[in-house]
Structures are given as structure tokens and as C-alpha cells.
A and B are shown apart, each in its own frame.
Chain A
């Protein structure tokens, strides 16, 4: 029974933005994968990082803690972070927690690519 690891993480670059695609659930089991992807794009010199969520029915508080860890690193490394593709519910959660103050929320990847490099 698949109850644990239901997240696929991959990285790509588009228009000068490092995109980390997160397909699936973001829980405690996601930590290694997300941190590894962030390290990879950072080692490659990324200044703009986009966490692109897809089909994320389940992001829990452990997942939020992982994302706060990414924000901490992003601030330390003087990068700029945005998120896209979140459902309405998780957009609300991100605002409640305060993540939205440190990672601008966009509805989709295209909007994020424009927005990230404007500011």
C-alpha cells in the first residue's frame, strides 16, 4: 500500500529561472528530495527559484517546515523565490503561515516567470 512517498521532484531551467517541479504530496517524506533539488539549482548558480506545485492534494505541517527551511536558505543566499500551481486551500495556508511574505504566490508557471524577474 502506497502511503508514504508520493512525491516526484525534478528540476529544469526556463528564461533564467530554476524551476523545481513538485508533483504529489509534500510531507515529512519529501525532505531529502526537495532539499537535494534546491541544493542542485543553487550549486548551478540559480538566482531565481520557482517551486512549481502540481497535484498537491496533501501538504502538511512537516511539508511546511521543509519549505520554511528552503526560504531560510533562499534569504541567506540572496535568491528570489516564488511558488506556483498551489490550490486555493494551500494558497490560504501559505498566507496564514507567513510563507507568502517570503515567496510570492502565482497561479501558474507563466505568471511566475514574468513576476519573478520584474521586481
Chain B
């Protein structure tokens, strides 16, 4: 754990969302993050990148981590900092992320050969955000922490 996580953020800088694990609710996280990022001064293309990254993180948490059990929550924390926005997305962890899924780089040519043509979510998050870190949440679930810097 890095030092910064042990320092409490000023509470007015943190937004916490607890979303039902049902596909579609990732939109609520996207809308909230985009509204906050705009107010922080992020450009439109950075806001678009953030929206895609957060939608993929929350969708993963809903589908894989929480296995679409609507009673289980996906917890999203948005922390506004002077130099950027920190987003953490945690599920309740029925199913840990597959080994290698956090580092793999899919190609479209190999996707043509697969029945399941997906697997782009985590890669997109890594490509679009400035910092990305996968870990196990205190609750035992999967957690992804991503940072987008204000230029």
C-alpha cells in the first residue's frame, strides 16, 4: 500500500457511490464522474476517456466480481485532488480477476478466431488512464484504482 492511501482525504473531496450489481448502473458512475471531471477542468476528450474507463471498471465489477447479483454492491470512490481525479472501483469479490487479465494486450486478429470476441475492458482502462492499479479490496473483492491527471 502506498503512503497516500493511509492519509485521509478531506471528506468534501470524496464522492462515494454504492451501485446495485445490474448492468446499466455503470451509467450512473459515468455520469457522476463526468460531471465532477468537467467541474475540475478536464478537457472533453479526457472526460470521454474517463467515462470509458469507469464504465469498463464498473461493468467488470458487476459482471465478473459480483456475478450480476443485484443485491451486491459495487462501490465507486471519486476523489478530487489538485492534480487529478482518483477513481476506485471495488466489488464484493465472488470471482477474482483471471490471472493475466490485468496485463494482457488483446489484438483484433486473435479476437477474430475466438468465439468470445471480448476482453477489451481492462486493456482499455490501462490505455486511457494515467495510472492503473489492481488489488484486493479490504472486503476481499477486486479493486481497481485509476488516476487521471490534470494537465
A interface residue numbers (CB < 8 A to B): 3-4, 27-29, 58, 60-62, 64-66, 68-69, 71-72, 75, 87-89, 92-93, 96-99, 101-102
Give the number of residue pairs across the A-B interface with Cβ within 8 Å.
Answer: 68
B120–A97 CB distance below 8 A: yes
Q: A61-B59, A93-B52, A98-B107 are in contact. List 10 more A-B contacts (CB 8 A).
A: A58-B27, A58-B30, A58-B55, A61-B56, A65-B116, A65-B118, A68-B117, A92-B45, A98-B109, A102-B108
Q: Are B25 and A3 in contact (CB under 8 A)?
A: yes
How many chain B residues have a CB neighbour from A under 8 Å? 28
Query: How far in angstroms is the closest Cβ of chain A from B48?
Result: 4
A3-B111 Cα distance, complex, nearest whole Å: 28
Do A64 and B24 touch (CB < 8 A)?
A: no
Q: How far is the CB of A116 from the nearest CB of chain B, in Å?
A: 20
The majority secondary structure among interface residues of chain A is: helix
Evaluate whether A60 and B59 lie within 8 angstroms (CB atoms) in the complex, with A65-B120, A101-B108 already known. Answer: yes
